[in-house]
Structure 1
Amino acid sequence: MNLSETPADPLAAYRIAEQPYYRPSAREVALYEHAWRHRLPLLLKGPTGCGKTRFVEYMAWKLGRPLVTLACNEDMTAADLVGRYLLDTDGTRWHDGPLTLAVRHGAICYLDEVVEARQDTTVVIHPLTDARRMLPLDKKGELVHAHPDFQLIVSYNPGYQSSAKDLKPSTRQRFAALAFDYPPQEVETEIVAHEASITTELAARLVRLARRTRELRQQGLDEGVSTRMLIYAGQLMRDGVDPRDSCDMTMTQALTDDHDLAGALRALVDASFA
């Protein structure tokens, strides 16, 4: 497509055609729908791999809205969010960033692990999270008023909070919040069985193992085995990989480099698949 052309649907690439699999574990779907009704900016907090991103994908599909997702990192600049001038065949031309696209055209914008971005970058979202609902494009000299269907969602993992990586109160207090955790045992078993295409019995053994590892968070482990890791392990086992090798690849080696903690994790795996 020529850069001077405007696509008929600028958010076509962000529309979710098929229903993502999501198994609710509490009242999060109903609560989100109330937040959506008022287009409240929303903060999702919970451990890595517990289903926050899948939840957002499911809700975007359920509401029929495009979803613009950005994985935040410390190298992200404000221009990466809002846009910049670029050279093309006709000279210098402004290109909207993903946040600006969402604001103009009415998508849900999801900033994943927002605390990984520099605070001088995330302040650009402040005017979008109060009654103004607008995005200043300072370099372009334009003020973009949010489409009625625009909503901003951010997520982060409180387990990795530090003074260097935390949301400023001036940012945090602009959001309504939903707290996530790993699903109840029977729900997590159902999720792992479905996503890894394994038996319920094998999924249940993996979930019991994960719950034991999560107890090690009080003994030096930053986080226990996530639901995502269980799905990875289940997929390898489904392909015939030995359970101990599967767990070592997707859990032990991924979680720690500490010799003693790795030994404790392997002991739990051995007990689970004796």
Structure 2
Amino acid sequence: MGAAEAGRAGLLADGVAAHAGTDANAPVAADPGTRDAADVARGDEPYYLPAGGEVALFEQCHARQLAVMIKGPTGCGKTRFVEYMAWRLRRPLVTISCHDELSASDLVGRFLLGPDGTVWQDGPLTRAARQGALCYLDEVVEARQDTVVVLHPLSDHRRILPIDKTGETVVAAPGFQLVVSYNPGYQRMLKDLKPSTRQRFVALDFTFPPPERESAIVEREGGVAHSQARALVALAQRLRGLHDRGLAEVPSTRLLVAAARLIASGIAPQQACHAAIVAPLSDEPVLLAAMRDLVDASFV
């Protein structure tokens, strides 16, 4: 199966990523975004349902020191896949949530004022390079272009990170791999990566899994009966058909799992779907009414 089909995997909600700070006097990205090799080795296996050759392809990219770019809609499980691969490869994982105020210093590091004077503190990208970790930049297109350029020498054959402020050149340790992700459908008219950046990555295209596979995921992760999982996925299929009618974002597998968990807790299916699926998708009255009608028709 080709890379374009690799994303048909049963992936679940994207994990909470570390947020690189923008305060010039604050530490650069808190360590909760980093899982070291010992944590990975003793941690539980992240739930992931492969669909084709995406696992083997990622492993070969890792072995050959190739950077990976994962493209797919919100909530299709890009982050879960990276977590699973870090566990499978027994590598530390450093996760960075990108945003439009993310600076190069947030990634690389900065001088901080301490009780004993000015000291240098590595940023998450530098720490990952030194540790030989998987460094995952979630929604990379949200970062400024001048920030993204910092990734270039780490994502090609050089595998180095020059630190202009200290004059040091960090050579990436064995096992280091750069992984980025973004939602191309949402960003197409707003932001995009430069060709000089895109062509440094091997790309995996992700999408929502087929109904049977998605039902298995919702059943397992949501803790509901198979029939309820199937009904939620069938509802999602109908709601995704509203994309051409003005719905900016279609319901993700993540939202289906959230609704399933509410149902499993005793909340009525209609109420759970209204709260966990319909309301997060839109504030437009006409679309809300249409989605509520579909929910009511799905759970009679």
1:130 aligned to 2:156? yes
The one-character-per-residue Cα deviations of 1:143-178 (angstroms, maximum 9, x if unpaired) are 111112100000000111245411111111111000
- RMSD between aligned residues: 1.6
Runs of 4+ in 1 over 6 A off after TM superposition: none
The aligned counterpart of 2:216 is: 190
Which amino acid in the other structure matches residue 203 of structure 2?
A: A
Q: Distance in 1 between matches of 2:39 and 2:98?
A: 21
Whole-Å separation in 2 of the counterparts to 1:120 and 1:14: 34
The 5-angstrom pairing of residues 82-93 of structure 1 reads: 82-93=108-119
1:235 aligns with 2:261: yes
- Does structure 1 residue 258 correspond to structure 2 residue 275? no
1-side partners of 2:86 and 2:37: how far apart?
Answer: 14
Give 2:83's aligned amino acid. E
Q: 1:87 to 1:11 in 2, by over 3 A?
A: farther
Offset of residue 260 of structure 1: 0.9
- Taking the TM superposition and a 5 Å limit, the aligned residue runs for 1:53-132 are 53-132=79-158
Tell me, yes or no, if the aligned pair for 2:36 and 2:93 is still in contact at 8 Å: no
Q: CA 1:35–1:13 in 2, change beyond 3 Å: closer, same or farther?
A: closer
Per the alignment, do residues 11 and 140 of structure 1 end up closer, same or farther by CA in structure 2, a change over 3 Å counting?
farther
Q: 1:199 aligns with which of 213, 216, 225?
A: 225
Structure 2 distance, partners of 1:21, 1:206, is 20
- Give 3-state SS (helix, strand or coil) of 2:83's partner: helix
Q: Distance in 2 between matches of 1:107 and 1:168?
A: 25
In structure 1, give the amino acid aligned to 2:270: R
Q: Is the 8 A contact 1:46 1:180 kept in 2?
A: yes
Partners of 1:62 and 1:240 in 2: how far apart? Answer: 35
How far 1:183 moved relative to its partner? 0.8
Give, in whole Å, the separation in 1 of the partners of 2:133 and 2:37.
11
Contact 1:14 1:67 in 2 (8 A): no
| Per-residue deviation, 1:13 | 8.5
TM-score, length of structure 1 as denominator length: 0.93
**SS of residue matched to 2:119:** strand
In structure 2, which of residues 27, 32, 39 is the aligned counterpart of residue 15 of structure 1? 39
Give 1:168's aligned residue.
Answer: 194
> In 2, are the aligned partners of 1:36 and 1:151 still within 8 Å (CA)?
yes
Count of aligned pairs between the two proteins: 266
CA contact (8 A) 1:206 1:230 kept: yes
User: Residue in 2 aligned with 1:6?
Assistant: none
Q: Deviations over 1:47-97 (max 9, x none)?
A: 000011000000000000011000101111111111111122221111111
Same amino acid, percent of matched pairs: 56
SS in 2 for 1:15: helix
> Are the aligned partners of 1:104 and 1:144 in contact in 2 as well (CA < 8 Å)?
yes
